[in-house]
Amino acid sequence: EVQLLESGGGLVQPGGSLRLSCAASGFTFSSYVMTWARQAPGKGLEWVSAISAGGDSTYYAGSVKGRLTISRDNSKNTLSLQMNSLRAEDTAVYYCAKGRGSGWYVPIDNWGQGTLVTVSS
């Protein structure tokens, strides 16, 4: 059974930093594209970033480019999201998600339960 367990969320001041982690199990982590998506309170889903199976290629939403950095450690089955220069509008539940294959152009077929990031003074 695929399991994705996010951690690292919390309260941070504007301009601050936070690092989210996602522990993956139940599948061959190194064979799949991984994604971060987020959902502001009471709002819809927003795609944030994705990383290739090997970790050598990444994509970002324009709203986070240059501030958020996705990475993965295939030896530890862990996905990360380094979040810098945080803004109030980054407040959201952040989901770790697994692609349905190793290629870029795949849907998300498994989601974690999410971790809440609140940016406020």
Partner 1 sequence: EIVLTQSPGTLSLSPGERATLSCRAGPSISISYLAWYQQKPGQAPRLLIYGTSSRATGIPDRFSGSGSGTDFTLTINRLEPEDSAVYYCQQYNSSPFTFGPGTKVEIK
Residue 47 and residue 56: Cα distance in Å, rounded?
19
Q: How far is the C-alpha of 76 from the C-alpha of 102, rounded, in Å?
A: 18
Enter the tokens of residue 83.
Answer: 């979040």
Do you know the residue count of the chain?
A: 121
Q: At a CB cut-off of 8 Å and minimum separation 6, what does 85 contact?
A: 15, 17, 67
- Among residues 27, 30, 59, 71, the one that binds partner 1 under rule CB under 8 A: 59
Considering the complex, what minimum distance in angstroms separates the CB of residue 114 from partner 1? 6
Nearer to partner 1, 62 or 75 (CB): 62
Amino acid occupying residue 59: Y
Judged by CB under 8 A, which stretch of 8-16, 40-48, 66-74, 76-84 contacts partner 1? 40-48
Mask: binding to partner 1, 75-94, rule CB under 8 A, as x and -? --------------------
- Residue 44 touching partner 1 (CB under 8 A): yes
What is the smallest separation between the CB atom of 100 and partner 1, expressed in angstroms? 7
Other CB atoms within 10 A of residue 13 CB: 10
Q: Which is nearer to partner 1, 18 or 114 (CB)?
A: 114
77, amino acid identity: N
**Interaction between residue 7 and partner 1 (CB under 8 A):** no
Residue 116 as a binder of partner 1 (CB under 8 A): the answer is no
